Amino acid sequence: MLRDTTVLMNEQRIFKPNYHVVEEAHVKNWEAELEKGKDIEKYWAEKAEQFEWFKEWDKVLDDSDKPFFKWFVNGKINLAYNAVDRWISTEKRNQVAILYVNERGEEKKITYYELYREVNKMANALRNLGIKKGETVSMYLPMCPELLISMLACNKIGAVHSVVYSGLSVGAFVERMNDADAKVLITADGTYRRGKIIDLKKIVDEAVLQCPTIETIVVVKHTGSPIEISDLSGREILYDRLVEGEPDTFAPEEMDSEDPLFILYTSGSTGKPKGVLHSTAGYMVGVATTLKNVFDIHENDLWWCTGDIGWITGHSYVIYGPLLLGCTTLVYEGAPDFPDPGIWWRIVEKYGVTKFYTAPTAIRHLMRFGNKYPNLYNLSSLKILGSVGEPINPEAWIWFYENVGKGKTPIMDTWWQTETGMHMISPLPVAGLKPGSATKPLPGIHAEVVDEQGEPVPLGKGGYLVIKKPWPAMFRTLYHDEERFKDVYWKEFPGCVYRAGDMARIDEDGYIWIQGRSDDVLKIAGHRVGTSEVESAFVSHPAVAEAAVIGKSDPIKGQVIKAFLILKEGHNINTTIIEDLKRHVRYELGPVAVLGEIVQVDKLPKTRSGKIMRRILRAKEEGEDLGDTSTLEE
């Protein structure tokens, strides 16, 4: 993509200045910590001691039924109790837990004690709606305090949450909602985006017509648009009404370590979205430990992760990680460039953000405006920066490092996935950095780059990224699809190793360079978008007979969609139809599916069994060799 020549230029250079954070860092010696992580059971058991357990585990890891690994067997614990209640009896009681800020400059500070009471009220309310332990509650909400409160309330009562990103639209929503069999859906009247209010409720109204399991819809009055009780249908209730008068105490459900915690849908290269299922104790241990190690979180940190809670980054590092560590988490609702491209730096200055975690696409976007904006503000509170979601090109890394970090804050380039639940490959703040490399597997993680047979490839040579030993926050299965779980991730290489779906290379210093996906999954502005979902959206348009889509390089978003369409008899590509197709795909999938180019073709390259060979389309697009075409139909 964007990286190659500069990668080579920078590969030799290791950044290891004397960052001020090194002095106070929780982990002082990178190599020694990696050494400790070699004994995974010992390492993770030690990390699990940081929590309050109702009952301790009997066995750290049970690997007798691979790939169904179990962690902290027979332990009893509650996540919300450890993220919130535990702090109430300490001096943290009145510390701000959630600092909510939006693009209109409005803010709301919620202390741990206030959060405790709000979560308890919602827990009682969900119980009254008949939600039992193990049942699913869906959420389609913007970045607002009620989303965090509702997720924690689910943990408290032992319900499983399924959050759908509010940037996904009707078609994508319906598919996810129906797979999760939720009885209750929590949503909002709208969200703020670049000076406008996006009407989420309208999307929900259309979508739920196709969601038979939903019995109750809870509506958060967030943007203050005038929804009146009388506007609501018989199964709808306002959030404020629902929690009104509920007691503000609640005895947390004692959850088994392996009880399901949440489902989060993500895209694969084929078929329906995958319901990635995470369980309780291992997830807690994994996210808290990695956030502590990678970003060196202390209790008085003001942590800001710009990821949306609708994705795994937000689950693990906007809400759960920071609250489990007892710091303050900044929740921002809005875009990086509205009302102007200085908004993020203005927030950093105003509140004194200490650790800041964002995505390469946002950095590339802000880079376009030059260093004027970061230079307008005092960013000296920042101690560590982070990047996630896709490979960060060295130009963006260096811009971030020089203009935002002023050459004093290390950048943690964290590689991980919805499935891994937690950071897997990343430096620690005391490590030597190379711009564009996620450096090495974290302590306790055993990653390797292998060839098709599963043998390690020589240094410098590209191969498949695999994880050789289990880790606590690993997903436990795909909801409703155990076979797919086994086939997609655990069958490809011998010995039940985890296939990540990325290509990578290890250099002579042992640094890992992630090269991008090995499958057809698209990465648009860091969001994972399934080719098959986009193709189905096209094919559901009346003019389209067949569709194939590939990722096309884009300087800001990393990739955008290029679609090859076979149109039905009597239809020809023109500007009207292109506009209509764009509208249609946006309606089905939402703004995440960014369309770059739509072309009409007479034929698509297929295998004899009828599978579209996107590889051929990609190679042609990039002007590369077509590779092995022996399975091509003609």
Shortest spacing between CB 573 and ligand WT7, in angstroms:
31
CB of 413 to ligand WT7, least distance (A): 5
Count how many Cα atoms sit within 13 Å of the Cα of residue 289 in the half-sphere of its side chain.
28
Q: Does 83 bind ligand WT7 (CB under 6 A)?
A: no
Measured CA to CA in angstroms, residue 535 lies from 84, 353, 526, 542 at distances of: 43, 41, 19, 13
Q: Which of 25, 148, 172, 312 binds ligand WT7 (CB under 6 A)?
A: 312
Exactly one of 277, 388, 474, 506 binds ligand WT7 (CB under 6 A); that residue is 388
- CB nearer ligand WT7, residue 45 or residue 312: 312
Amino acid sitting at position 517: R
Footprint of ligand WT7 on residues 518-577 (CB under 6 A)? 523, 528
Q: Closer to ligand WT7 at the Cβ: 112 or 416?
A: 416
Stretch that binds ligand WT7, among 169-177, 346-354, 382-390, 622-630 (CB under 6 A): 382-390
Does residue 356 touch ligand WT7 according to CB under 6 A? Answer: no
Distance in Å, CB of 317 to ligand WT7, minimum: 9
Q: What x-and-dash track marks residues 472-501 binding ligand WT7 by CB under 6 A?
A: ----------------------------xx
Q: Return the number of the residue (365 or 523) whose C-beta is nearest ligand WT7.
A: 523
What is the rounded CA–CA span in Å between residue 60 and residue 377? 48
Residue with tokens 């290509």: 503
CA 281 to chain centre: 19
Name the minimum Å distance from CB 499 to ligand WT7: 11
Interface mask toward ligand WT7 for 502-521; x: CB under 6 A: x-----------x--x----
The one segment of 150-158, 307-315, 329-337, 625-633 that binds ligand WT7 by CB under 6 A = 307-315
Beta carbon nearer to ligand WT7, 527 or 584: 527
- Residues 478, 472 contacting (CB under 8 angstroms): no
Nearer to ligand WT7, 339 or 432 (CB): 432
Residue (101 or 318) nearer to ligand WT7, CB: 318
- Of residues 246-275, which lie at the interface with ligand WT7 (CB under 6 A)? 266
Write out the binding residues for ligand WT7, residues 412-471 only, by CB under 6 A: 413-418, 438
Q: Are 384 and 357 in contact (CB under 8 A)?
A: no
Dist CA 302 CA 611 (whole Å): 50
Say whether residue 313 binds ligand WT7 (CB under 6 A): yes
Strand partners for 59: 73
DSSP-derived secondary structure letter, 391 = P
Applying CB under 6 A, the span of 411-419, 450-458, 467-475, 535-543 interacting with ligand WT7 comes to 411-419
Residue 43 has what DSSP assignment?
H
Q: Return d(Cα 207, Cα 229) in angstroms, integer.
A: 21
Least Å distance between CB 332 and ligand WT7?
17
The neighbouring-strand residues paired with 110 are: 98
On the CB side of 545, CA atoms within 13 Å amount to 13
> Quick check: 573 and 582 in contact, CB under 8 A?
no
Cα–Cα distance, 97 to 118 (Å, whole number): 12
CB of 298 to ligand WT7, least distance (A): 24
Q: Which is nearer to ligand WT7, 252 or 286 (CB)?
A: 286
Give min distance, CB of 33 to ligand WT7, in A. Answer: 20
How far is residue 529's CA from residue 519's CA, in Å, rounded to a whole number?
12
| Contact present, 587 and 171 (Cβ < 8 Å) | yes
Q: Based on CB atoms, which residue is closest to ligand WT7, 151 or 500?
A: 500
Coil, helix or strand for 412?
strand
- Taking CB under 6 A as the criterion, the residue among 190, 391, 405, 551 binding ligand WT7 is 391
Q: Which residues share a beta bridge with 220?
A: 188
- Establish how many alpha carbons lie within 13 A of residue 532's alpha carbon, considering only the half-sphere containing its beta carbon: 12
Strand pairing of 498-506 and 512-517?
antiparallel
Taking the complex as a whole, how short is the minimal distance between the CB of residue 516 and ligand WT7, in angstroms?
A: 6
Q: Min. distance of Cβ 22 from ligand WT7 in angstroms? A: 22
Query: What is the Cα–Cα distance from 408 to 428, expressed in whole angstroms?
Result: 15
Amino acid at site 43: Y
State the minimum distance, in angstroms, from the CB of residue 420 to ligand WT7. Answer: 7
In angstroms, the CA 217 to CA 449 distance is 46
Least separation in angstroms between residue 103's CB and ligand WT7 is 23
Q: Could you list the residues that contact ligand WT7 (CB under 6 A)?
A: 266, 311-313, 388-391, 413-418, 438, 500-502, 514, 517, 523, 528
